[in-house]
A and B are shown apart, each in its own frame.
Chain A
Amino acid sequence: MRLAAPSKIKLTANLMINGMGWGNWAVVPDAGQLAAYGGISPARPPKSEMWGTAAVSVCDGRGKERSVNHLAYLDAGSGSLIVQAVVGGIAGIAVAAKLYWRRLVSRFRRQPTDQS
């Protein structure tokens, strides 16, 4: 998915630069700054990680974040991504198990209502 033009990016706190850590929110001022990571080199890893992909996560309005990676032209395949965790060894299996556990728990989690 291509990154929207600057005027189309909703400049509110529901945008996040990936790599800053889940839950750390930052405002993206404009798309030009997103592209500014090009000047960095791996000799400066912290900034590289922060700006390194020009990818953002967008809140979809239902409290669910969606990653928008405009660099990925290829459909990696959802299952192919998960399997990689499993083939990564015991630690990876634990990650995959955690992913499925969270999916399972989220099914039974009570949905909040207006009254509550």
Chain B
Amino acid sequence: MVMPDLGRPPRPAPLDVDPRPEPGSFRDPANRIFHAGDDVLRALDRTAAADWRALAASSFFPPLLTAGKVCGTEELPAESPLRELPTAPESPGWVTVLRHERVPFVSHPYEWSFAMLRDAALLHLEILRAALPAGFTTKDGSAYNLQWRGTEPVFIDVGSFTPLRDGEPWAGYRQFCQTLLYPLMLGAHLGLAFQPWLRAQVDGIEPEQMGPLFRGVRRLLPGVLTHVHLHGSVQRRSAATSTADVRAQLRDAGYTRELAVATVRGLEKLVRRLDHQPAATHWVDYQHTCGYSGDDRAGKERFVVAALSAAGRRRLVLDLGANDGRYARLAARHADYVVAVEQDPAVVDRLYRTLRGEDERHVLPLVMDLADPSPGGGWRGIERASFAARANADTVLALALVHHLAIGRNVPLPEVLTCLAGLAAPGGRLVVEFVHPDDPMAARLLANKPDGIFPDYRRDAFETLLAEHGTVEDRLELPSGTRTLYRVALP
């Protein structure tokens, strides 16, 4: 099996850490994900193990693995100590254990831009279209089946593949609509950002929620009449009929595998039509309007490069407030993986499209407002981990960010630094830029606030706070004289 080299560190000794079940992997009792050290393991029961063996021997699955479209997967040998995974009480136990390629940084669909969600949807459909003629289908159709290697989507839910019963439609269609198709329709047809919808509802957008948004002539927009209105209507009328009965009736009426393939092709065609570029905002041109001189830029780049190369190659770098990704790209030369976080969906969408065009696999752009970061979601609030729980960076870049949080969003300066330091792993580095109150950009933000509201927004107060969080290893005042960069070693 293919296990792409993502530059991960040497594997720790087996079972040096107790296997821990992944909180987001419980819906399908046939298989469950565990974490053991740096290993990602999938335990399979007897049925799922049989599915896996059939899948591994199939004609369509190995090419998808080789192409990197499905995450690298291998079956652990029977003697591997990693196969000792906990089982639920009264469970017959796991029969087989798979080891998966580790995704460099787990992200959620509500952190993706429009083009990212669209590419993820197209990959899901491509995989299903390859599986159907080979006699396989997927049990579900969730956007959470997909993750990223930089700007390359990857299907991670190997346990979702199951042999296809002729004459049965795709069980994952409704999930696909709710977590992928409908959010894309919101963007493409209405120009709305889908991220808040997906963040609010782990199961995605219901047809009943979509209906009122597409009244009148909007019903005629591509895909709306069938996938939204007809879908919702038939769903309501069929609520009392079991899916088992409907499956039998459809098979009896002549539903075939070819029809299932035609449906997937139709969905692919529709998703390709749903292209949309979020409207430009002032953040799109921020790099040109933020007032940096050429000397400032050059000095800042030298400082960032020196900070990243100071303590050996970095594994994970977080670039917070990444904007056009200038420093994220720079960081990617000195790190295995860079997560570029930016609050504006339009900026992230442009960055993703650019990076995708360059086939960049070491930078992952994400949409997120640092003043309102992704919370824990789903069951008990841990099914989908919060951003803070996932962030464990070797280096955190916070360039031209602090003033936006401290002045623009009224976050107390000590809180800002506690947050930034908390996103780094123990012993990590924080590279932070302080924009002085007399800098034109800071002055512009302060002009919209009452005088004297931020008495501690001063360089000396900032440096005192930095010293409380770690050791300042390096600093540089940019030639303009209104911005200072710091490299802080965290304990």
Q: Which residues of B contact A102 (CB under 8 A)?
A: 249, 252-253
B475 interface residue (CB < 8 Å to A): no
Q: Which residues of A contact B80 (CB under 8 A)?
A: none
Q: How far apart sit A36 and B226, CA to CA, in the bound complex (Å)? A: 40
Residue-wise interface mask of A (17-45) relative to B, using a CB-CB cutoff of 8 A (1 in contact, 0 not): 01100100000000000010111111101
**Interface residues in B254-291 (C-beta closer than 8 Å to A):** 254-255, 258-260, 262-263, 266-267
In the complex, the answer to whether B139 meets A87 with C-beta atoms within 8 Å is no
In the complex, the answer to whether A77 meets B174 with C-beta atoms within 8 Å is yes
A78 — nearest CB in chain B belongs to which residue?
A: B238
Q: Which residues of A contact B233 (CB under 8 A)?
A: 79
In the complex, the answer to whether A87 meets B227 with C-beta atoms within 8 Å is yes
In the complex, the answer to whether B252 meets A71 with C-beta atoms within 8 Å is no
Min Cβ gap A99→B in Å is: 4
Q: Which residues of A contact B267 (CB under 8 A)?
A: 87
**Interface residues in A33-88 (C-beta closer than 8 Å to B):** 35, 37-43, 45, 48-49, 52-55, 57, 65-88
A89 interface residue (CB < 8 Å to B): yes
A103 interface residue (CB < 8 Å to B): yes
Q: How far apart sit A71 and B242, CA to CA, in the bound complex (Å)? A: 16
Which of A39, A43, A53, A94 has the most C-beta atoms of chain B within 10 angstroms of its own C-beta? A53
Which of A43, A49, A66, A81 has the most C-beta atoms of chain B within 10 angstroms of its own C-beta? A81
A99 — nearest CB in chain B belongs to which residue?
A: B253
In the complex, the answer to whether B252 meets A22 with C-beta atoms within 8 Å is yes
Q: How far apart sit A80 and B173, CA to CA, in the bound complex (Å)? A: 7
Min Cβ gap A3→B in Å is: 9
B449 interface residue (CB < 8 Å to A): no
In the complex, the answer to whether A79 meets B227 with C-beta atoms within 8 Å is no
**Interface residues in B236-253 (C-beta closer than 8 Å to A):** 236-239, 241-253
B166 interface residue (CB < 8 Å to A): yes
In the complex, the answer to whether A74 meets B166 with C-beta atoms within 8 Å is no
In the complex, the answer to whether A84 meets B260 with C-beta atoms within 8 Å is yes
Q: Which residues of A contact B226 (CB under 8 A)?
A: 83, 86-87
Q: Which residues of A contact B247 (CB under 8 A)?
A: 67, 69, 81
In the complex, the answer to whether B53 meets A22 with C-beta atoms within 8 Å is no
A18 — nearest CB in chain B belongs to which residue?
A: B165
Which of A71, A79, A103 has the most C-beta atoms of chain B within 10 angstroms of its own C-beta? A79
The answer, among B54, B174, B248, for a CB contact under 8 Å with A67, is B248
In the complex, the answer to whether A55 meets B54 with C-beta atoms within 8 Å is no
* Binding-face segment, B3-11, B15-23, B25-33, B210-218: B25-33
* Binding-face segment, B43-51, B98-106, B398-406, B476-484: B43-51
A2 — nearest CB in chain B belongs to which residue?
A: B29
The 8 closest A-B pairs by CB, nearest first: A38-B50, A79-B235, A41-B57, A52-B163, A79-B234, A78-B238, A80-B174, A84-B169
Can you name 27 A-B residue pairings with CB atoms under 8 Å?
A: A38-B51, A39-B50, A41-B54, A41-B58, A45-B135, A48-B54, A49-B135, A49-B166, A53-B163, A57-B248, A65-B248, A67-B245, A69-B165, A71-B47, A74-B171, A75-B243, A78-B238, A78-B239, A80-B234, A81-B246, A84-B169, A85-B250, A87-B266, A88-B263, A95-B255, A95-B259, A99-B253
Name A residues whose Cβ lies closer than 8 Å to a Cβ of B: 18-19, 22, 35, 37-43, 45, 48-49, 52-55, 57, 65-89, 91-92, 94-96, 98-99, 102-103
Name B residues whose Cβ lies closer than 8 Å to a Cβ of A: 27-30, 46-47, 49-51, 53-54, 57-59, 134-136, 139-140, 162-166, 168-175, 177, 226-227, 230-239, 241-255, 258-260, 262-263, 266-267
Query: Given A38-B54, A82-B246, 12 more contacts at CB 8 Å?
Result: A40-B54, A42-B59, A42-B134, A65-B248, A66-B242, A79-B232, A80-B235, A84-B260, A87-B267, A88-B266, A102-B249, A102-B253
